[in-house]
Structure 1
């Protein structure tokens, strides 16, 4: 693990550490990898970015090199209306090493923003391709498809450690979105392009009490932020001062 001077290697308390739950995915076994996240004293979650990043890269490689070509993954992606990287008509990504020349046809369309990073450095040498997994995790969450089996099928054996923290955050973000605005605006926030609009929304699935309570606590912290109740005015600071008085 790298130790960079002045670099915060752990996310602050409040970063979600709720473990995803189960479900079936055709042809995929449940992950046997360790639980994502760990709890500090008092239940505050701990997140080490240097331990997480290699696992996330492993999930990216699995998704690009294997999962996107599996029949089950393609069926789920079609149902929730999201293109897999090899299906992109602008710089499709066929594996973890880089894109293929763009294709054209009746179903072709130009993406409104680039979905992958550069594939060569200043010397023209190939570099590992980067594709964000967040859009896929978000779409699985809001359509209720984020079961253990599906997550394993999309992201491989390291999914709990690699994309588990992102999955937890996106589940919480979905709760926040539903609490903030109405159905139409929630759907609008999760639509990507006219060709990849959200086909349906489902309430968050397989929710446990710990997840709701964690979201409630974080939501309260956000409400405090809206009222500028942060820093020395944070409710936790006020409560501690009252106990010491």
Structure 2
């Protein structure tokens, strides 16, 4: 019996087709509106990450939507990924609901929430895997966007820790190739049968 597909966001009720329109709404809100707001610009400056308008070519990047250059429809959205912003907010402790709402709008729990949850778990894994200096280097970005500081994960819940422990065990099992038919009992709930002759 083959192992059933397990979505990267780890939630059994997660539907990628319901999620994507919410993600797009967050992306549009961020690109069209909040990147030009003073509070979002302040947080971005504090955590040293460039906003999309700051990454545009030339030094005459607009600071407000009214002065933004005209673009083909969808052009700005295709060149912007929200994951780097979520990663930077998590690693600096700015990933509070208020800040996430300020960056990504009302749809953030459904549109960016699954990414936020995964990035919090990734940050826990990074801290467990390596030294502070190497973790910091992994959160640095090109073009002078080095992370100015790291903070321990803020507002951690017991559920997050339990989920992270379970996923860490899965990771360790994979490092030892203990997957599928070789998975030990309790590590994977979908052990396949061993090949004949094993």
* Residue of structure 2 aligned with 1:57, choices 20, 24, 44: 24
Task: Give CA deviations for 1:151-175 in whole Å, capped at 9, x if unaligned.
Answer: 0000000000000000000000000
Q: Deviations over 1:89-118 (max 9, x none)?
A: 43769899xx859xxxxxxxxxxxxxxxxx
Whether the aligned pair in 2 keeps the contact of 1:134 and 1:166 (CA below 8 Å) is yes
SS of structure 1 residue aligned to 2:144: helix
Per the alignment, residue 209 of structure 1 pairs with: 158
Deviations 1:35-60 (A, max 9, x none): xxxxxxxxxx3210000000000000
- Deviation for aligned residue 1:15: 3.1
TM-score by length of 2: 0.82
Gaps of 5+ in 2: 190-198
Considering fraction of residues, name the structure with more helix.
2
Q: 1:197 maps to which residue?
A: 146
1:182 corresponds to 2:131: yes
Relative to structure 1, is the Cα distance of residues 90 and 62 closer, same or farther in structure 2, using a 3 angstrom cutoff? same
Counterpart among 26, 44, 47 of residue 14 in structure 2:
47
Give the 3 Å change call, closer, same or farther, for CA 180–191 of structure 1 in structure 2: same
- Where 1:219 maps in the other structure, the secondary structure is helix
RMSD: 2.8
Count of aligned positions: 181
**For residues 46 and 100 of structure 1, do their structure 2 counterparts lie closer, same or farther at Cα, with a shift above 3 Å needed?**
same
The 1-side partners of 2:148 and 2:187 are apart by 46
- TM normalised by structure 1 equals 0.67
- Which residue does the alignment assign to 1:72? 39
Whether contact under 8 Å (1:151, 1:159) holds in the other structure is yes
